[in-house]
Structure 1
Amino acid sequence: MTSAMFRIGGDLRVRRLGFGAMRLPSDPGPAREASLAVARRAVELGVTLIDTAHMYGWGANEELLAEALYPYGDGLLVTTKVGVAQSASPAGWRLDARPDVLRGQVEHALRRLRVERIELLQLHRIDPDVLLEDQLGALRELQTEGKVGRIGLSEVTVTELDQAQQIVDIASVQNRYSLLDREHEPVLAACEAAGIAFLPWRPVAMATSDASAEIAAVAAELNATPAQVSLAWLLHHSPVILPIPGTSRIEHLEENLAAAYLDLHPTLLDRLDRLAE
């Protein structure tokens, strides 16, 4: 069996299988009420790590989580991300990690989440137009002021992680990664060597027909779903992996979290490992 817990930064203890809140609708109405119910059910089921970001609804997702969960129970970590701003571009957003922008987004997050300190704050993307020292220096200042506990990164290379570690202590990395998408395996290896939490986003990737058939076959042997097998593989693959699958449906949430109890014996792990070849 895999360990169910991990200490982010060496001291912040969370359950390894968390919840990504990005998919929760926040506009008023029945969909919002359903979102509140999903967030509350996640905590009822033992989730202690919930991931959000300034970019998710431009603060609306943070406000939604506060409405659902405040006052937060002991041990519940709501982590957020900064460094992306709205724009008039077709994408509707741009990277913006200027120190004053980062500080402003952190101040807004503190207010929206109704906290005095964000225990884990992640830089959503490194902004190529701003010196890395300035970006991380701004977060370090907020850390010194007691407004941020630990600093993480998102979508970084091994080189960028190494450079960042020369400036601040890095507690987490959030990169795209899954059973069938292992582009960032070197980053995972670097995190594992340093004891850094690795939070894979999009942890259940779309599969090719051959891969889908093999995952489905393993799932059938375990009386599980392919998504559960994919999440269980992540938990077995590295002790620093903390998956944060997201959903807007309670039944899907319950299915995802049940993956923590799925035991993959070595023969099955070997079959799944070979899918990336």
Structure 2
Amino acid sequence: MPSPERAALAGRTVSRVGYGAMQLERLHHDRAAAVALLRHAIDLGVDHVDTAQFYGAGFVNDVIREALASGDDALIVTKVGAVSDSGGPLPLRLAQRPDELRASVEDNLRALGLDRIPLVNLRRADRRPGLVAEGDQRVDLDDQLAVMTALRDEGKIGAIGLSAVTLDVLRRALPAGIACVQNAYSLVNRDDEEMLELCAAENIAWVPFFPLGGAFPGLPKVTDEPAVQAAATALGRTPAQIGLAWLLHRAPNVHLIPGTASAAHLKANLAVADITLEGETLAALAAIPARPMPADLR
């Protein structure tokens, strides 16, 4: 069944294929090119841009502020829970405490030149892949939601999302009003099927990251699957396009935020919304065995 091209996200109806801005940091050496690429995305119809202040140590948000004209009506989504740390062993460190979450929202507001951010995702740190909280960074969910709801009540953010969370955390957070969940999910990593179903039932947008798998060494890649490659050949598409299109067909509340620093790749990503996967193809893709996330990455 063809997927509708638009769906609800944080009280808006937007195109189901947005743009993940993290890859803009690859153009750090050429700011004008980064601005032009994002401007091109908006001109092609992108109206959902996903970002974070720690992407490129602030470079990405600066590009977004410059690229988006006052007349653009793009839904800007950011995330908090970590900050840049150029002098550390990793380019970012966790910032999970309520005071740090508030400071991160304020930093995003200033960098983006906004009075209100339509949607802010709380990136939890109790689940891999990624950093796991230790010491004073192990913060109770209720304390985090308290500051997020206060920021929403103050009008500084429009809606609250969650990222990298467990099913239990989502269930605990539901009374706060959750607009979206960003978790690792793909054709070859379907650990969170039950959470996706709950989101669909609760009208919560599902925004998968690592949508083609293979984000870490040893993890399977969607594009390596013979059934994906066969579908790509039959439909005259790339394997990556088939993997992304499957996600759109998986449930009507799925939104994609593929990122790229290439104009050609951007066009290919946006074209995914026009791909129709018929029953036989969907059955072949559904037969691909899902691989649980390795224990050391959970």
- TM-score normalised by the shorter chain: which range applies? over 0.9
Q: Are 1:182 and 2:190 matched, yes or no? A: yes
**CA spacing shift, 1:221–1:53, aligned 2, 3 Å:** same
Aligned counterpart, 2:234 = 221
Aligned counterpart, 2:129 = none
Alpha-carbon displacement from aligned partner over 1:27-81 (angstroms, at most 9, x marks no partner): 6543x2222122111111111111001221232211111111132513x101000
- The CA deviation at 1:92 is 3.7
Q: Are 1:169 and 2:177 matched, yes or no? A: yes
Does the 8 Å contact 1:26/1:60 carry over to 2? Answer: no
CA RMSD in angstroms, aligned pairs only: 1.9
Aligned counterpart, 1:56 = 55
Alpha-carbon displacement from aligned partner over 1:189-218 (angstroms, at most 9, x marks no partner): 111111100101121224569953221111
Does the 8 Å contact 1:211/1:275 carry over to 2? Answer: no
Aligned counterpart, 2:82 = 84
Q: Secondary structure at the match of 1:81?
A: strand
Q: Structure 2 stretches of 5 or more lacking a match?
A: 126-132, 215-219, 291-298
Q: Are 1:135 and 2:135 matched, yes or no? A: no
- The CA deviation at 1:276 is 2.6
Does the 8 Å contact 1:233/1:269 carry over to 2? Answer: yes
Q: What residue identity is the alignment partner of 2:22?
A: M
Q: Secondary structure at the match of 1:137?
A: helix
Taking the aligned partners of 2:253 and 2:114, their CA distance within structure 1 comes to: 27
- In structure 2, which of residues 146, 163, 167 is the aligned counterpart of residue 158 of structure 1? 167
Q: Secondary structure at the match of 2:57?
A: coil
**CA spacing shift, 1:220–1:94, aligned 2, 3 Å:** same
Q: Are 1:197 and 2:195 matched, yes or no? A: no
**CA spacing shift, 1:27–1:270, aligned 2, 3 Å:** closer
Does the 8 Å contact 2:223/2:239 carry over to 1? Answer: no
Aligned counterpart, 1:234 = 247
Q: Are 1:261 and 2:274 matched, yes or no? A: yes
Q: Structure 1 stretches of 5 or more lacking a match?
A: none
Aligned counterpart, 1:40 = 39
Q: What residue identity is the alignment partner of 1:274?
A: A
Does the 8 Å contact 1:83/1:96 carry over to 2? Answer: yes
Taking the aligned partners of 1:4 and 1:28, their CA distance within structure 2 comes to: 32
Q: Are 1:14 and 2:14 matched, yes or no? A: yes
**CA spacing shift, 1:144–1:66, aligned 2, 3 Å:** same
Aligned counterpart, 1:144 = 153
User: Between Structure 1 and Structure 2, how many residues are aligned?
Assistant: 273
- The CA deviation at 1:246 is 0.7
Taking the aligned partners of 1:118 and 1:153, their CA distance within structure 2 comes to: 15
Q: Secondary structure at the match of 2:261?
A: coil
Greater alpha carbon shift after TM alignment, 144-153 vs 175-184? 175-184
Runs of 4+ in 1 over 6 A off after TM superposition: none
**CA spacing shift, 1:241–1:27, aligned 2, 3 Å:** closer
Taking the aligned partners of 1:60 and 1:52, their CA distance within structure 2 comes to: 11
Structure 1 residues 88-107: aligned runs within 5 Å: 89-107=88-106
- The CA deviation at 1:254 is 0.3
Does the 8 Å contact 1:79/1:120 carry over to 2? Answer: yes
Normalised to the residue count of structure 2, the TM-score between the two structures is: 0.86
Greater alpha carbon shift after TM alignment, 153-162 vs 97-106? 97-106
Q: Secondary structure at the match of 2:52?
A: coil
Q: Secondary structure at the match of 2:272?
A: helix
Q: Secondary structure at the match of 2:56?
A: coil
Q: Secondary structure at the match of 1:101?
A: helix
Alpha-carbon displacement from aligned partner over 1:67-110 (angstroms, at most 9, x marks no partner): 11132513x10100011134565224332221211111111111
**CA spacing shift, 1:35–1:55, aligned 2, 3 Å:** same
